[in-house]
Amino acid sequence: MSTQKSRVWFITGASTGLGRSLAEAVLAKGDKVVATARKEETVADLEKKYPGHAKAVRLDVTDLAQVKASVQAAVDAFGRIDVVVNNAGYGLVGTVEEVSDAQIRHQFETNLFGLLNVTREVLPRLREQKSGHILNITSMGGQVSFPGFGMYHGTKYAVEGISESLAQEVAGLGIKVTIVEPGGFKTDFGTRSLVRGERIAAYQPVYDALVQAFSSAVFGDPARAAQGIIKAVEADAPPLRLALGADALQGIRAKFESELEEYKRWEPVSVDMAFDDPAEGVLDIKTLLG
């Protein structure tokens, strides 16, 4: 484990759920936290409880001006940022046909572009420090898709792919990246934070099947999820991906096994794609990458 004594954490979406649990756990262990939320008053109690260690900051991740101001506020308060937790986001339930254009765009603006706004703003500072750890909170839904959540999955799959590239890009700069994939936890994700599309009767069987599938779901404890994230940050070699919850690990493993089996079944078709003349298939990498 790392011997570093104290870190400065920048956590988006820290008012409730996993973000709140993580902020509380980090502060309890003596680290410093910049707790951000769209309504600053929802995290102001942390600053009162942990004076000198917690900083409450207003942040709507879709507002570039607020992103810049919040990062600067973090640096002004504590001099640096060591861990960035991109946790802000919400769920949108509705089939591809049911959700509106406005709902789709707002889902991507928050879950994907908001995350990119924060990440791109902090990267120059982390590069200058030659250290830092970015944690992008996706979901088991960044690896496994369910009907009725296509737009939500789209944002999380995008974050997974971008994060994987980012991890390779910054590996030589002293910056680490971890994709956190929670399963079901007892938060307000499925209640207050969930947005719903307008229902079309033809898709009712989809929702009936979802209700049946998840009727016996057992939710995890956000406090334990927070401790799992802290362990990953404190590790000398943190994982690129961290599944949180037995349901997440089981679901992701089953998805990969099913996909691999299908790839194997169609392997003869997949590999029979080369030109008869090998020279036709030569790629000039230098030209491609400029």
Please list the active-site residues: 152
Phi, psi of 206 (to 5 degrees): -65, -45
Question: Virtual CA dihedral for 224, 28, 4, 14, nearest 10 degrees?
Answer: 70
Return the ∠ at Cα 185 (arms to 184 and 189), rounded to 5°: 85
Per the CB < 8 A criterion, the answer to whether 280 and 218 are in contact is no
Q: Under 8 Å CB-to-CB from 23, ≥6 apart: which residues? A: 9, 11, 14, 33, 35, 43, 46, 54
- What are the CB-based long-range contacts (under 8 Å, 24+) for 19-26? 19/85, 19/87, 19/88, 20/222, 21/222, 21/223, 21/225, 21/226, 22/85, 22/87, 22/225, 22/226, 22/229, 22/230, 23/54, 24/226, 25/223, 25/226, 25/227, 25/230, 26/226, 26/230
**DSSP of 130-168:** T-EEEEEE--GGGT---TT-HHHHHHHHHHHHHHHHHHH
Kindly calculate the radius of gyration of the chain based on its CA atoms and give it in whole angstroms.
21
CA distance 37 to 270: 47
CA distance 200 to 204: 7
**Residue 80, SS3?**
coil
